Amino acid sequence: MKIEVLGSGCPACQKLEQNAKKAVEELGLKNVKVEHVYDVNEMMERGITFSPAIMVEGEIKAEGRIPSVEEIKKWLK
């Protein structure tokens, strides 16, 4: 499974990345990769209009906000 955090690296983007990693850790998932996409052009190509954003397996789950660890865990179950 692949989780992508999309954003410039701002504090909100960093917090979202931390939340995603914590959700993976709390669920004990071993085959999950969390990546951070910083390229604005790539974000636009994927249809992201607000950052931070998070995608799970290529599907946009949230943008323009920081989902909680619990919310991310629900997406991963």
Q: What is the CATH number of the domain that holds 14?
A: 3.40.30.10
Q: 2, 8, 9, 10: which one is catalytic?
A: 10
Judge whether 70 counts as a catalytic residue. Answer: no
Q: Using an 8 Å Cβ cutoff, are 33 and 5 in contact?
A: no
Domain count, the chain: 1
- DSSP at 47: T
pLDDT at 32: 95
Read off the pLDDT of residues 30-65 as tens digits, 9 standing for 90 and up: 999 999 999 999 999 999 999 999 999 999 999 999
Judge whether 68 counts as a catalytic residue. Answer: no
Q: 3, 5, 6, 13: which one is catalytic?
A: 13
Domain ranges, residue 27 = 2-76
Model confidence pTM above 0.85: yes
Rounded distance between C-alpha atoms, residue 3 and residue 55, angstroms: 6
DSSP strand pairing (33-37 vs 2-6): parallel
The contacts of residue 70 (CB under 8 Å, 6+ apart) are: 23
Q: Residue 13 CB: number of other CB atoms within 10 A?
A: 21
Read off the pLDDT of residues 1-32 as tens digits, 9 standing for 90 and up: 999 999 999 999 999 999 999 999 999 999 99
